[in-house]
Structure 1
Amino acid sequence: MKNVLKVLGLVIFFLLVVAALYLRTPAGPNYSQSKIKKTAASYDVRIIRDGYGVPHIFGQTDADASFGFGYAHAEDDFETIQDVIIAARGMSAQYKGKSAAPQDYLFDLFKVSETIEQRYQSDVREDVKAIARAYADAINLYGVEHPEKVLSGVLPVTEQDVLAGFTWATPFFYRLDGYLEDLFTADDKPNVSPWAQTSALNLVDAVRGSNAFAVAPIRSEDGFTRLIVNSHQPMTGPYAWYEAHMVSEDGLNIAGGTFPGVPIIANGVNENLGWGQTVNRPDLVDIYALKVDDVDTPKRYKLDGEWQDFDITKSTFRVKLWGPFSLPISRPLLWSKHGPVLSTPTGHYAVRFSGLQGIGALQQWYDMGKASTLAEWQAAVAQNHVLSFNMIYADKEGNIGAVYNARMPNRIEGPDWESVLPGDKSELIWEGFRPLSDMPQNWNPECGWVFSANATPFNITDPSCNLSRADFSETFGIEKRVTNRSRRALKLFTADKAISKNDILKYRSDTRYDPESNLMKFVVDLVSRSYEDPLLNEAKEILRHWNGDTSQSSRGAALAVIAGTQALGYDYTEPEMEPVEALLYAATNLKARFGRLDPEWGEVNRLQRGDVDLPLEGGPDVLRAIYSDREGVEKTGAMNAFAGDTHIMMAEWNKAGELDLISIHQYGAATLDETSPHYDDQAPLFARGDYKAMPMRLEAVLETATRDYRPGK
């Protein structure tokens, strides 16, 4: 018996050893710290932090500037950059667990790594490789200098990691995730988008907002050209703006915002021109319902009356368990002639979309930032590697314009491309893309101004200067959406025939809801109803007298916004709760916390960061866009802002073409360092609606310098 137990014990021990070896997460590749430091020392770059800690990077070459930018960004937000790198390798589940597994599966399904491996040498220009490599080298240097912050297996970062981040993430800006999630039932819907990591509040649509305005000399009071860049993003996380200024002796001199893992300025202003981007909703995705030979384990699909074999490979990734252990996962990957295939509870679907295996977005944004004339900028945009976004442009020559940017599939006319398509007709498998010249573009309109607020591109200036929808193909799927922000912008700008600097700043931060907005219609509906509950009748009277304003002193805004976001979501577009139930929720919680239903909006709507706790004006889908926790009053007594207005710039070129640039960030340059004075030093300015100067020349930067250093030296 003892021998049996001994043998059994040995067997169990052996199995445990085998299991430990099988489950132990493999170590990352070996690398030399001395080699990383030697590489870093080869870059010639100087970082100067101004009075607000904003990095101004001066490099000999563009690659030097990219290295300095990467190092500065790592100093301020290494943890988020590290998360982005992990996602760009399709390894999120290995570090975050099973909730991220669907993202890693899609990463493999879309063949991101294969795309970079196959096309990097042939399709990426040498100067683009250089800036991606320099950024990666900077992250590596910071990592070896601060090993306590680096997760096992992350270093070394490569330029391929940087490029893979673009290939993986950019399709999700135009809601690819929404198309994919719609194929699943409510019970089986996976978390398929990196956007899901931006907020615990599930703010998907609202952060895909933004405003941008351009006013030409013919419409400005003083003959200046002005541009407002006002993208709406989460205030923290991988899609939060980071502000920087990059200069090189290769001709780069650009200030603006970008995201963790991105080695260039994505929303920028240089001395000659600038642009802002807002999210648009072109139809860039097609879904095909496939007829397969076996519902459970399909091997073939029907196309033009004949059976075709799927291209079947495997997705392999690991899912974190505990400590150093993770579970290896292997799942089949299916491709048809349409593209990648998803097997869901509702059927088998092929997906064909813009950006699948795309690799050129970094090059395009880089070229946009280097452009010095309208023609050069238009040539950069015409590359059409950036998949979507409205772009509002202005320059020192007085040119302004609006581009409805889309990498539009070259579809045949006739089919309903916005519906699920039959997968057995090869004529529906489109090839190639339309040139950008086919998309709506409005250059130098006689009315002298253009804007974008995530609405239809056919109503972006005075009525007499707008383009006509009839001139563009229905296969483009161009949205007909009208936001409250677009209604208010049209009302304010159209009435002003001589727009001053103060005017454009005032309009940018307008705090009102239009009577035709979804929220005001919701309020009118609530006021028209009869209630037996005294609390609801009290709420009804407050809403009856509310004028749609969200200034700090407004009474009624808290009741309306909380009820509206509970009933219709943060973007006031999707019913989530019965209107009366939402009103009762808002009234009950306001009464409990404030002893009244109409506290001043500034008491409720707050900017809380570190030791800062400040009142805010604005709200969801107003031009002063502030998205705050709609359950905040119930949970803590205040609605803390977490998305909307974040990094904002206003550029103006005078009659001589000289640039003056002001900007603001909602928090400060130190994204994660709570011990830094720049963790929240811009918050008071932001809450007041003020701005700071953004110097563009070395002499002006040195006047406010607080730190001057050379990384790697």
Structure 2
Amino acid sequence: MVKWAKRAGWTTLGVTLTAMVVLASWEPFFAEQPGPPPPARHYSAEITRDTFGVPHIHGTTDADTAFGTAFAHAEDDFATLQDVVAMTRGRYGAIAGKDGAGVDFAYHWLGARQTARSQMNTLSPEVRSVLDGYASGLNRYAALHPGEVKLARLFPVNGEDVATGFVLRLPFFFGLDRVLAPLSEGKPLLPEHGAALVPTKTAALGEPFGEDLVPARPMPLPMGADASMSGSNAFAISPKRSGDNTTRLLSNSHQPYRGGVAWYELAIDSDQGTHFAGATFPGSPFPFLGHNETLGWTNTVNRPDMIDVYKLEVDAGAQHYKLDGQWRPLEQARIWLPVKFGPFTLPIPRTVWRSAHGPALVTPRGTFAVRYAGIDSVKSIEQYYRLNKARDFGEWSAAMALQGVPATNFIYADKAGTIAYVYNAAMPDRKAGPDWRGVLPGTDSSLIWQGPIPYASYPKVINPASGFVFNSNNTPLLAAGPGSELDPAKIPAIWGVELDMTNRARRAVKLLSEAGPITRERLLTIKFDTGYERAGYVAWMLDGVAKLDLRNEPGLQKAQALLASWDLTADGKGGADALAVMVLEEAMSRSYSLKPLPDPKTELAKAAAHLTKYFGRIDPPLGDLIRIRQGEVDLPDDGGGDTLRAATSWDVSPDGRLSIKHGDSFIMLIEWGPDGKVRSESIQPYGAATTRPASPHYADQAPLFVAHRFKPVWFTREDVAKHGTSHEVVTN
């Protein structure tokens, strides 16, 4: 009996050990495997790094520069690039655990791989060669540095993988995650997402916009919001308004400082005619904003209605759904999500569904299908490539007319003095009549729209009389100065265009509309402005705190009095700045996402308690509270969540300081003077090598960033040769 017990014990131990080995090693073998590498060809790129480590990449062809772009980016941040590759294979959960598994579910649910595979031949041969060149650059770096590879069998990658990354990520920039999450969790959809705001009257320029508001359509947040405000600022000034006959474009994106949508600065120079300086995201073979010799553009997030939800009528077991009176099979597929827990990666089963409307979810509340702008398309890749190649406003407009990029405002300027604002959004071409504001019936195929409205219908402002265009994530109705506003009657309600104003927009339009030339110095003063207007959520919160009866709470009464003395700036010079920035943070976030504003007393108490706990006072200098931190660099910052100098969201450090993680990120000032030559400057919060602590460029831009200063962008080949500090030639 003892012998049999021992044998059973050893058997159990063996089974347990076997299970542990399987759980620790199954994923690379059962996960989606790499496809064939790109077609064999020779690539060669020169990578010259300037004094700040920014790579300047030269190649004979655009494909060569894409090869060099991937290799240079991998030298600086191979860790994040691998995360992006894992996302394009449904394997991110094997790296990031539960959070990564959510991305993997979206990958399968969207059918990102299937879309890329079926649509690759719609891309031009030039674009496909660029995608293959970029993939080859990643493969080359991985082959030379196998010790840095996070997951077995992740490489080689090919052009289809790169295209899949575009398909996967673009819908989340206009809020698909904020629809998918409540649907998948069985939560009510409309209350979860708040409502858009439609004014009952039009406000004059510079006034608080939309004081009388009524609820309209749900408006989800864009990707990268980090449960806070995501946005950007952009300004273009015409030569006639600049004071020195210079065209200026100021790009001021607000993105996370780390991760898959953190900016990476570069310059590319191809003998095929592509010469562009700007910034890109991990996984892209070309810049997404910046300039060439003759023109430039930048982006800000916009929030039109790009998503429709349909409730399907299904049979028992949700095997079929009814459409136009006929029962159709509800397509379904079993998927396995790899989820890392400690040393083990567990396979978690899930099911994804699809109807004629788009991807679907079977939930306790019913079966829902979702249709969104840009569904089943890879045209965004072609459009970005053509934008990089454009040489004048006509060519740039032709690239915009491809309508591949489903959302984001574009602000444009060029050597000829043209400035423009385009409310870019591939808004669904819906028929009038149905209630597109709610959940639609899934039984009527006439509600399944097939494409966007024409590009000619997009709201635009070109060369306004005011001499400037701007956007700070506000309504497109206010994109320029007095007399240049867009007509609300020409923007149909069915588009779901946002009509609200951010504090940044209120400040920008006020400062830009003042008399006199908008010189370089004045433009930079506006960009780094830390002021608040007492309007919207700011007024609501400040008035709410002022009305509190705190006679029996002396600690909060002291905080109330301090806030009442605030000068409405976050410049770090006033004693109330730190308290005010913390009190307004939650209200700012909720206002932008169009959710109910928080309780003023709760926010005042939270802020006062935090400051007292960590600083022993409620009036520490703002720079002691909000910090730019990277490695051993620890510097004071200024600005607030919704100021033109943006410090949008933060992590609370163990010492109570707020380490900024989202806000002013890549900033670029571009100028064409009377001589017609382009000049530019830029800055980032950290440096070129954000995940390489041993690099001198891990955080070398931080001192300039906190001082509101820029570094030069070396654009011409002569300047690159003069200011280059390292040079390498990479080949495969």
Please report the TM-score for the alignment, with normalisation by the length of structure 2. Answer: 0.90
Kindly provide the CA deviation profile for residues 216-241 of structure 1, in whole angstroms up to 9, marking residues without a partner as x: 11211111110001110011111111
* 1:603-622 superposed matches below 5 A: 603-622=624-643
Deviates more, 1:530-539 or 1:592-601: 592-601
- Kindly tell me: are residues 105 and 607 of structure 1, through their superposed partners in 2, closer, same or farther at Cα, counting changes over 3 Å? closer
Counterpart position of 1:97: 97
Counterpart position of 1:148: 147
Residue 443, structure 1, aligned to residue 470, structure 2 = no
CA distance in 1, matches of 2:107, 2:516: 50
**What amino acid does structure 2 have at the position aligned with 1:69?**
T
**Contact 1:552/1:615, CA 8 A, preserved across alignment:** no
Residue 319, structure 1, aligned to residue 339, structure 2 = yes
CA distance in 2, matches of 1:393, 1:244: 20
CA drift at 1:187: 7.7
The unaligned stretches of length 5 or more in structure 2 are 190-220
Residue 589, structure 1, aligned to residue 589, structure 2 = no
CA drift at 1:695: 1.3
Counterpart position of 1:674: 693
* 1:181-192 superposed matches below 5 A: 181-184=181-184
CA distance in 1, matches of 2:33, 2:440: 48
Which of the residues 398, 418, 422 maps onto 1:403?
422
CA drift at 1:594: 2.8
Counterpart position of 2:50: 50
The two structures, once aligned, show a CA RMSD in angstroms of 2.8
For residue 700 of structure 2, give the secondary structure of its aligned residue in structure 1.
Answer: coil
Kindly provide the CA deviation profile for residues 10-29 of structure 1, in whole angstroms up to 9, marking residues without a partner as x: 97689669857865224489
CA distance in 2, matches of 1:368, 1:568: 34
CA distance in 2, matches of 1:599, 1:217: 43
Counterpart position of 2:169: 169
Counterpart position of 2:200: none
CA drift at 1:95: 3.1
**What amino acid does structure 2 have at the position aligned with 1:140?**
N
For residue 84 of structure 2, give the secondary structure of its aligned residue in structure 1.
Answer: helix
**Contact 1:292/1:302, CA 8 A, preserved across alignment:** yes
CA distance in 2, matches of 1:567, 1:124: 44
**Contact 1:571/1:620, CA 8 A, preserved across alignment:** no
For residue 677 of structure 1, give the secondary structure of its aligned residue in structure 2.
Answer: coil
**Contact 1:203/1:570, CA 8 A, preserved across alignment:** no
CA distance in 2, matches of 1:2, 1:537: 75
CA distance in 2, matches of 1:605, 1:147: 39
Counterpart position of 1:192: none
Kindly provide the CA deviation profile for residues 145-167 of structure 1, in whole angstroms up to 9, marking residues without a partner as x: 11111021211121111110000
- Kindly tell me: are residues 30 and 387 of structure 1, through their superposed partners in 2, closer, same or farther at Cα, counting changes over 3 Å? closer
**Contact 1:205/1:571, CA 8 A, preserved across alignment:** no
* 1:294-305 superposed matches below 5 A: 294=316, 297-305=317-325
Counterpart position of 2:506: 487
- Kindly tell me: are residues 283 and 527 of structure 1, through their superposed partners in 2, closer, same or farther at Cα, counting changes over 3 Å? same
For residue 166 of structure 1, give the secondary structure of its aligned residue in structure 2.
Answer: helix
**Contact 2:35/2:157, CA 8 A, preserved across alignment:** no
For residue 395 of structure 2, give the secondary structure of its aligned residue in structure 1.
Answer: helix
**Contact 2:306/2:372, CA 8 A, preserved across alignment:** yes
Residue 279, structure 1, aligned to residue 331, structure 2 = no
**Contact 2:308/2:370, CA 8 A, preserved across alignment:** yes
**What amino acid does structure 2 have at the position aligned with 1:705?**
G
- Kindly tell me: are residues 184 and 118 of structure 1, through their superposed partners in 2, closer, same or farther at Cα, counting changes over 3 Å? closer
CA distance in 2, matches of 1:29, 1:172: 23
**Contact 2:591/2:597, CA 8 A, preserved across alignment:** no
CA drift at 1:566: 4.2
Residue 694, structure 1, aligned to residue 716, structure 2 = no
CA distance in 2, matches of 1:258, 1:360: 18
Count of residue pairs the alignment pairs up: 696
**Contact 1:255/1:268, CA 8 A, preserved across alignment:** yes
Counterpart position of 2:553: 533
For residue 525 of structure 1, give the secondary structure of its aligned residue in structure 2.
Answer: helix
CA drift at 1:378: 0.5
Which of the residues 320, 328, 345 maps onto 1:308?
328
- Kindly tell me: are residues 196 and 611 of structure 1, through their superposed partners in 2, closer, same or farther at Cα, counting changes over 3 Å? farther
**Contact 1:174/1:388, CA 8 A, preserved across alignment:** yes
Counterpart position of 2:256: 234
* 1:102-121 superposed matches below 5 A: 102-120=102-120
- Kindly tell me: are residues 17 and 457 of structure 1, through their superposed partners in 2, closer, same or farther at Cα, counting changes over 3 Å? same
CA distance in 1, matches of 2:615, 2:349: 54
Counterpart position of 1:74: 74
**What amino acid does structure 1 have at the position aligned with 2:319?**
K
Deviates more, 1:375-384 or 1:458-467: 458-467
CA drift at 1:183: 2.5
CA drift at 1:454: 0.7
**What amino acid does structure 1 have at the position aligned with 2:496?**
G
Counterpart position of 1:368: 387
For residue 240 of structure 2, give the secondary structure of its aligned residue in structure 1.
Answer: coil
**What amino acid does structure 2 have at the position aligned with 1:536?**
L
Counterpart position of 2:648: 627
* 1:193-592 superposed matches below 5 A: 203-206=226-229, 208-294=230-316, 297-320=317-340, 323=343, 326-531=345-550, 532-566=552-586, 569=589, 574-575=595-596, 577-592=598-613
Counterpart position of 1:137: 136
- Kindly tell me: are residues 54 and 307 of structure 1, through their superposed partners in 2, closer, same or farther at Cα, counting changes over 3 Å? same
CA distance in 1, matches of 2:17, 2:612: 61
CA drift at 1:68: 1.1
**What amino acid does structure 1 have at the position aligned with 2:168?**
W
**What amino acid does structure 1 have at the position aligned with 2:307?**
V
CA distance in 2, matches of 1:43, 1:415: 54
CA drift at 1:536: 1.4
CA distance in 2, matches of 1:377, 1:131: 20
**Contact 1:39/1:137, CA 8 A, preserved across alignment:** no
Kindly provide the CA deviation profile for residues 431-465 of structure 1, in whole angstroms up to 9, marking residues without a partner as x: 22222111101111122110111111011111311
CA drift at 1:481: 1.8
Kindly provide the CA deviation profile for residues 187-215 of structure 1, in whole angstroms up to 9, marking residues without a partner as x: 899xxxxx9996xxx72442x30011001
- Kindly tell me: are residues 656 and 424 of structure 1, through their superposed partners in 2, closer, same or farther at Cα, counting changes over 3 Å? same
Kindly provide the CA deviation profile for residues 563-612 of structure 1, in whole angstroms up to 9, marking residues without a partner as x: 22245547665457532122112112223333332222122221112222
**What amino acid does structure 2 have at the position aligned with 1:261?**
G
Q: Share of identical aligned residues, percent?
A: 38
For residue 219 of structure 1, give the secondary structure of its aligned residue in structure 2.
Answer: helix
**What amino acid does structure 1 have at the position aligned with 2:340?**
K
CA distance in 2, matches of 1:143, 1:281: 38
For residue 437 of structure 1, give the secondary structure of its aligned residue in structure 2.
Answer: helix
- Kindly tell me: are residues 688 and 153 of structure 1, through their superposed partners in 2, closer, same or farther at Cα, counting changes over 3 Å? same
Counterpart position of 2:178: 178
CA drift at 1:553: 1.5
Kindly provide the CA deviation profile for residues 595-637 of structure 1, in whole angstroms up to 9, marking residues without a partner as x: 33222212222111222221111111110011243745xx413
**What amino acid does structure 1 have at the position aligned with 2:250?**
I
CA distance in 1, matches of 2:187, 2:449: 33
CA distance in 2, matches of 1:17, 1:617: 54
For residue 710 of structure 1, give the secondary structure of its aligned residue in structure 2.
Answer: strand
**What amino acid does structure 1 have at the position aligned with 2:370?**
V
CA distance in 2, matches of 1:390, 1:96: 32
